[in-house]
């Protein structure tokens, strides 16, 4: 099993290019099942989860073609199987996203109950009840969601009890080919949901309200081919900016979008960073100063993202002062705290809040990644440590960060991957 060895104490400096957003790319890949025509998807990140989704399409009989620029062409007219097996689904929750497209296009779907990061309950019952409201017959048995519909799904007025990104995406995709109008209330407003909606509109769907909490979809007869470029990954962008701030560095992130990172950039300014932005770039300069501790609270977009909470915990651990971080989205998302405390951090958990007293520097230690964003935070902790840190179980990080050690090396970090 691979691990990362990090020698801390280097300020990150330089420029990096941000990859396409994983959380956009996965639903957009699933949306290719909605048409028999060829869909080209550009700017896909090179990630394990993307490979898994392409493999999932492959086991249904769809053979995506990847060109030399790593753009993917998908034509689902060769589909033979309408099930997503547990072997693939268990590694990636996003596999649930094929449920809506298969059901609305082919009238049937079988999807194993999903796996993925162990960061708390993420119930699929909201997907199921919404599709039932649209006329689907669904049973959950033998660990599978088995869904069918007699004829076409029907438009419905759906209120989501909880804000759910994949739930919103699944229903939105199902509604594109349903009979009549679907209204999703309390819909997720995340930029990745908007990106999927924009892709579907490019394919001929009739959708309005994306980016607000009410999305309206008028069903159409069929969707057409298109070419679509996935938006930049705001979580990857934020992670590198936080790493630069923690190491007192100066970096420029290119091919990104400042407009969808406002909550993170304002916190980085509170930390003491000088931030400059252009249309597709963000520059952060700490002027070699130690960061100041910040307090924050996670919540659904446009508030501070849960996916950047762990990284700010690492930054606060070496900051001036005391910061508190309250997690309101997932209930099991502080598994990195124990590992950071082993590195000399002063962090305590009180309910759904962590209180971090900044120390001068952390001490390198062997640590273990527990989920995707926790592993990013442990890498940041390693970068601000004296001595050497080894981060084990980094298969988590490969699910969400493209070539992380190469990108960090290009910014001057002393980091390498070894096979144990």
Distance CA 374, CA 272 (A): 24
Cα separation, 25 vs 255, in Å, equals 16
All residues at 6 or more sequence positions from 3 whose CB lies less than 8 Å from its CB, including other chains? 390, 391, 392, 393, 394, 417, 418, 420
> Three-class SS of residue 55?
helix
Whether omega before 308 lies within 30 degrees of 0, making that bond cis, reads no
DSSP bridge pairs for 362: 385
Cβ–Cβ under 8 Å, residues 366 and 392: yes
218 Rama class: left (phi>0) / alpha (psi -120 to 50) / beta: beta
Active site residue 199: no
Residue 415 · residue 9 · CB < 8 Å: no
SS3 of 77-144: the string is HHCCCCEECHHHHCCCHHHHHHHHHHHHHHCEEEEECCCCCCCCCCCCHHHHHHHHHCCCEEEEECCE
In 255-401, which ranges are E strands? 274-277, 281-285, 296-297, 322-326, 346-350, 353-357, 362-363, 366-368, 385-386, 388-392
Helix (H, G, I), strand (E, B) or coil at 158: strand
Read off the tokens for 389: 């840190």
Beta carbons within 10 angstroms of residue 408's beta carbon: 26
**Is the separation of the CB atoms in 382 and 364 below 8 Å?**
yes
Question: Among the options 42, 59, 117, 403, which is catalytic?
Answer: 117
Cα separation, 5 vs 140, whole angstroms: 44
Enzyme catalytic residues: 117
């Amino acid at each position: 099993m691979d691990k990362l060895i990090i020698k801390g104490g280097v300020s990150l400096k330089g420029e990096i290019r941000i990859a396409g957003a994983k959380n956009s790319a996965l639903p957009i890949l699933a949306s290719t099942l909605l048409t028999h025509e060829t869909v080209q998807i550009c700017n896909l990140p090179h990630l394990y989860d993307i490979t898994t989704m392409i493999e999932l399409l492959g086991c249904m009989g769809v053979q995506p073609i990847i060109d030399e620029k790593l753009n993917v062409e998908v034509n689902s007219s060769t589909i033979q199987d309408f099930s997503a097996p547990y072997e693939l689904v268990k590694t990636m929750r996003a596999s649930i996203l094929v449920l809506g497209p298969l059901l609305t296009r082919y009238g049937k779907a079988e999807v194993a109950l999903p796996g993925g990061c162990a960061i708390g309950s993420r119930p699929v019952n909201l997907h199921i009840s919404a599709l039932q409201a649209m006329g689907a017959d669904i049973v959950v048995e033998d660990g599978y969601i088995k869904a069918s519909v007699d004829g076409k799904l029907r438009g419905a007025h759906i209120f989501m009890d909880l804000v759910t990104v994949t739930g919103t995406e699944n229903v939105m995709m199902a509604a594109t080919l349903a009979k009549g109008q679907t209204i999703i209330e309390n819909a997720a407003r995340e930029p990745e949901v908007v990106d999927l909606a924009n892709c579907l509109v490019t394919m001929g769907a009739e959708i309005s309200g994306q980016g607000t909490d009410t999305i309206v979809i008028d069903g159409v007869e069929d969707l057409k081919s298109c070419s679509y470029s996935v938006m930049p990954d705001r979580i990857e962008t934020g992670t590198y900016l936080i790493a630069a701030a923690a190491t007192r560095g100066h970096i420029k992130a290119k091919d990104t979008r400042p407009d969808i990172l406002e909550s993170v950039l304002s916190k980085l300014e509170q930390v003491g960073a000088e931030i400059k932005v252009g249309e597709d770039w963000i520059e952060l300069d700490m002027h070699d100063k130690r960061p100041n501790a910040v307090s924050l609270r996670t919540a659904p977009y446009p508030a501070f993202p849960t996916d950047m909470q762990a990284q700010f915990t690492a930054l606060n651990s070496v900051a001036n002062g005391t910061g508190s971080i309250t997690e309101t989205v997932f209930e099991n998302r502080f598994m990195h705290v124990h590992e950071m405390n082993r590195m000399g951090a002063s962090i305590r958990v009180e309910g759904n809040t962590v209180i971090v007293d900044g120390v001068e520097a952390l001490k390198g230690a062997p640590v273990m990644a527990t989920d995707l964003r926790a592993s990013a935070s442990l890498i940041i902790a390693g970068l601000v440590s004296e001595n050497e840190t080894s981060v084990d179980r980094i298969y988590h990080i490969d699910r969400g960060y493209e070539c992380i050690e190469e990108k960090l090396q290009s910014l001057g970090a002393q980091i390498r991957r070894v096979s144990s």
